[in-house]
Amino acid sequence: MSQFNNAFTLFLSLLVEAMPFLLLGVLLSSVLLLFIDEQQLITKLPKNPLLGALVGSMIGFLFPVCECGNVPVARRLLMQGVPTPVAIGFLLAAPTVNPIVIWATWTAFRDQPEIVVLRILLSLVIATIVGWVFSVQKDLKPLLQPAIAKSWEYNFVPKQELKKATPTSPLLQSGTFLLNQPGQMVRMDATVLQASLAATAPNKPLSDRLRLLVDNTIQELRELGAVLVFGSAIAAFIQVAVPREVILSLGYGPVTSIIAMMILAAVVSICSTVDSFFALSFSATFTSGSLLAFLIFGPMIDLKAIGLMLSIFKPKAIIYLFALAAQLTFLFTLFINLQII
């Protein structure tokens, strides 16, 4: 019973802490949808995969959200048809490479500025590499959830088709259009079309835009909120079921400490905005490389984020992302522990 109580307290504390960030992310994502001409932004993104991945990794600077907030934005970007490396770069780097997180990390590790610098640098490098690797897959559809895949493809189709097909009441018509695909996530399709609507009708009155903003916020809050509930429940369960001692006792060596901290990062699912404070509590007992591994890997992949990412990607894609990010993080931080770089 007390275990259950603890798990529930953990669960609620994760949720209560993550909910404001989720709200912030969803709001920003909705504002991005309605008040920024994404088509413009997308046309300005570099076509070169490597450069695109790098630019994508730095878009986080415009959207100071943590990993619960960046998923809706990444999803939105993908739905708008941004090139893959950009979206992947953003997804992996945005939770770390943004002003709020940098500030928080700096606050925590003032005594070790190298941790702050290396965290940002390595996150950028890893996100860029993974984004670049993903650029090999030109057709993203097999990796995306069906609804996202549809809109991704849809946005790759020249815009004229949409205009031709858009009758007098585009909202109504377009909303029903995608509902015809059996077994699809209908609401997201509605969002896509709202997005297209917003993009094709930039001069809509402000009141309409605000209404769409609220609708979109509610839609994403509902979807991502439910996934967050799920992820937090799993994280809480594992934290209670597996004594933290077991995870920590995995070792203090250059290799084992990194592995232990990466597992901890994935299990604890702590928000990137606050994870540096969490990592701080290990800075005496753990190697710098392992702390970095925690700070770099945690925001990219953790149990909670996997839950959220499932709203974009099929499990296969998440396994690729997970494996690539984990290996790169491990290699780089091992180099640091062994003082190779």
Partner 1 sequence: MIGSKSKRKQAKLSPNQSKTRAWLFTWLDVLAIGAWGILMLRYWLTGKLNLLIHPDYFWLVISGGIGLIIIAASKAWELLRRRRNSGTATQHVTLFPPGISSSLLLVTAIIGMTFTPRVFASQTALDRGVTDSLGATRAQPQAFRSARNPEERSLLDWVRTLNVYPEPDAYTGQSAKVQGFVIHPPELPPEYILISRFVITCCAADAYPVGLPVKLSSSRQAYPPDTWLEIEGTMMTDTLAGKRQLTIQATSLTQIAEPENPYEY
CB of 173 to partner 1, least distance (A): 6
CB of 15 to partner 1, least distance (A): 7
Closest C-alpha to 140, from 128, 149, 131: 149
CB of 154 to partner 1, least distance (A): 12
Is residue 177 within the footprint of partner 1 (CB under 8 A)?
Answer: yes
Cα gap 305→313, rounded to integer Å? 12
Our CB check for partner 1 shows the closer of 72 and 85 to be 72
Stretch that binds partner 1, among 130-138, 141-149, 169-177, 321-329 (CB under 8 A): 169-177
Q: Which of 157, 201, 206, 218 binds partner 1 (CB under 8 A)?
A: 218
4-42 burial: b if 16+ Cβ within 10 Å, else e: eeebeebbeebbeebbebbbbbbbbbbebbbeeebbebb
Our CB check for partner 1 shows the closer of 122 and 291 to be 291
Residues 94-133 that bind partner 1 (CB under 8 A): 111
CB of 57 to partner 1, least distance (A): 25
Closest C-alpha to 295, from 120, 89, 103: 120
Is residue 10 within the footprint of partner 1 (CB under 8 A)?
Answer: yes
Residues 226-285 that bind partner 1 (CB under 8 A): 226, 229-230, 235-236, 239, 243-245, 248, 268-271, 274-275, 277-278, 280-285
CB-based contact 314:76 (threshold 8 Å):
no
Cα gap 315→325, rounded to integer Å? 15
Cα gap 216→193, rounded to integer Å? 11
Stretch that binds partner 1, among 17-25, 53-61, 145-153, 316-324 (CB under 8 A): 17-25
Is residue 163 within the footprint of partner 1 (CB under 8 A)?
Answer: no
Token pair for residue 183? 């077994």
Our CB check for partner 1 shows the closer of 57 and 290 to be 290
The DSSP secondary structure of 181-247, one letter per residue, reads STTS-HHHHHHHHHHHHHHH-TT--HHHHHHHHHHHHHHHHHHHHHHHHHHHHHHHHHHHHS-HHHH
Give all strands (DSSP E) within the chain, no chain letters. Answer: none
CA 303 vs CA 65, 83, 229, 322: distances in Å: 18, 26, 11, 11
Is residue 157 within the footprint of partner 1 (CB under 8 A)?
Answer: no
Our CB check for partner 1 shows the closer of 21 and 322 to be 21
Kindly report the length of the chain: 341
Stretch that binds partner 1, among 18-26, 65-73, 124-132, 329-337 (CB under 8 A): 18-26
Q: Which of 139, 159, 165, 201 binds partner 1 (CB under 8 A)?
A: 165
Non-local (6+) Cβ contacts of 203 within 8 A are none
Q: Which of 157, 159, 176, 327 binds partner 1 (CB under 8 A)?
A: 176
CB-based contact 276:105 (threshold 8 Å):
yes
CB of 284 to partner 1, least distance (A): 2
Interface residue list for partner 1 (CB under 8 A): 2, 5-6, 8-10, 12-17, 19-21, 23-24, 27, 111, 165, 167, 171-177, 179-180, 185-187, 190, 193, 211, 214-215, 217-219, 221-223, 225-226, 229-230, 235-236, 239, 243-245, 248, 268-271, 274-275, 277-278, 280-285
